[in-house]
Amino acid sequence: MGKLISLINVTLDGFFDSQYVNANAEFHEFVHTLLAEAHTVGFGRGSFELFQQIWPAVLTNPGSAESQRRMAQALNDIDKIAFSTMLKETTWANSRIKTLDVELIDQMKTGSDKNLLTIGSPGLVGELTRLGIVDEYYFSVQPVIAGGGNSRMFAREGLPERQPLQFVDSRSLTSGVQILHYRKSPSF
């Protein structure tokens, strides 16, 4: 049975904002390890639109770094879902639009040994957390105090109670990014 795994970038002061992400070749290699265990990548509307704008263009840009081209190809090839009620169409290969549905996510988890991976998408991760259906989190802690951003971690979702997590491991990248891996506590 697969899991629902969320990879989310966060600054030291708790902001989710793509402008602060240090996504170098080493980070891309880490993401490839998560993608290798995933059958689908899920996004919220905003993150999907951003990724759909950036990554397909990398494939056609001869000046793109090899790690970026490899990431763009991996994202292009994998099944993608934009969880949105506002998005009406997609131009990105292997992508579809669905409304967030717990039964759909349960089917995706039980129908495969691979995982459903969410990347970015703070609103989506917040809602999935509120619903209690995220199995594991990878917090990619960026070495910056942002002082502001588009969204503070879990601020919009108004989580009804504490969400206990169990530490799994951590990884330090040479860029200073710390990747913290947690799973949902069995007591939750």
pLDDT per residue of the chain (188 residues) written in tens, 0 to 9: 899 999 999 999 988 877 888 889 999 999 999 999 999 999 999 999 999 999 999 999 999 999 999 999 999 999 999 999 999 999 999 999 999 999 989 998 888 889 999 999 888 998 999 888 999 999 999 999 988 877 777 766 667 777 889 999 999 999 999 999 999 987 65
- CA dist 21 and 127 (Å) reads 22
With beta carbons less than 8 A apart as the criterion, state whether 136 and 178 touch: no
Measured between alpha carbons, how far is residue 40 from residues 12, 36, 151 in Å?
A: 29, 10, 25
Tokens 């069995």 correspond to what residue?
186
CB atoms within 10 A of CB 172: 9
Mark out the alpha helices in 22-174 (DSSP H runs). Answer: 25-36, 45-60, 66-77, 102-110, 122-130
Look up the pTM and report it.
Answer: 0.92
Tokens 């697969």 correspond to what residue?
2
- CA dist 119 and 171 (Å) reads 18
Q: What's the CATH code, domain 4-184? A: 3.40.430.10
Angle value at C-alpha 153, between 150 and 157, nearest 5 degrees = 95
The helix-helix angle for 45-60 and 66-77 (nearest 10°) equals: 120
